[in-house]
Amino acid sequence: MAAADVTDSDRAQLAYALGIAPADVPGALERIAAAATEEYLDMILGRRLPRRLEEIREQRLVLLVRHLFANHLPTEEQVARVFQLTPQQSRALLRGVMAKHRYELADAVRATLEGTLHRAQHEPGAGVWEVTADPATIDIINAELAAVDGSLPQVTRRRGTVSQYEIRPSAYQALRDLLAAGFPVGPE
């Protein structure tokens, strides 16, 4: 099916699933095609041959991170929509990918971390930085904090909110220092 064969209804559904505007669907389809091409090349050339369904999903997610999501980690909601999974299954898939492909996705983790810190707003009265993010992103940030210094305060959900998080100043500075140092990816 060519991008020109996508109906308006399909375009609207794809836009919703990918979290993009309908006008951006053709470009997203090109990036998905690039991920699929890489998957088929790996299969034909005998590289990375996953055998179990979970391994296939993990490999596809890695390829989508690289191509579709422009080397940024998708949210749990995006993963759930793209792979037709429940929120719990999407979280498990993201965790599995991060555990098995940590070094391969280091640039995506860095970009996601940079983006999250860039969006954070300093709240002087509360003495914290606040940011809206999904739980999977926060899990990754907290893992990086633990790798830097286990005594740093973790990023925590702001009381009474669904996806607003607070970053204490010492943790925020440690994350900034980590990025400035070249983001050494620590062990899981």
18-52 tens-digit pLDDT:
989 999 999 999 999 999 999 999 999 998 888 89
Tokens of 163: 């996806």
Residue (of 90, 88, 22) closest to 61 by Cα position = 90
Residue (of 145, 121, 149, 124) closest to 133 by Cα position = 121
Q: Check residue 48 and give its pLDDT.
A: 80
Helix or strand holding residue 152 (H, E): none
Measured over the CA atoms of residue 110, residue 114, residue 120 and residue 126, the dihedral's sign is positive
Measured over the CA atoms of residue 107, residue 113, residue 117 and residue 119, the dihedral's sign is positive
In eight-state DSSP terms, residue 157 is E
Q: Check residue 3 and give its pLDDT.
A: 58
Tokens of 177: 């220092």
Tokens of 173: 């500075």
Task: Report the C-alpha gap between 109 and 45 in whole angstroms.
Answer: 28
Q: Check residue 1 and give its pLDDT.
A: 53
Q: Check residue 186 and give its pLDDT.
A: 44
Residues of the chain with pLDDT under 70: 1-4, 183-188
Domain ranges in the chain are: 3-101, 108-180
> Which residue type does 135 have?
P
Predicted model pTM: 0.84
Task: Report the C-alpha gap between 177 and 183 in whole angstroms.
Answer: 9
Q: Check residue 52 and give its pLDDT.
A: 92
CB of 166 within 8 A of CB of 141?
no
Find out if CATH 3.30.1360 is the number for domain 108-180: yes
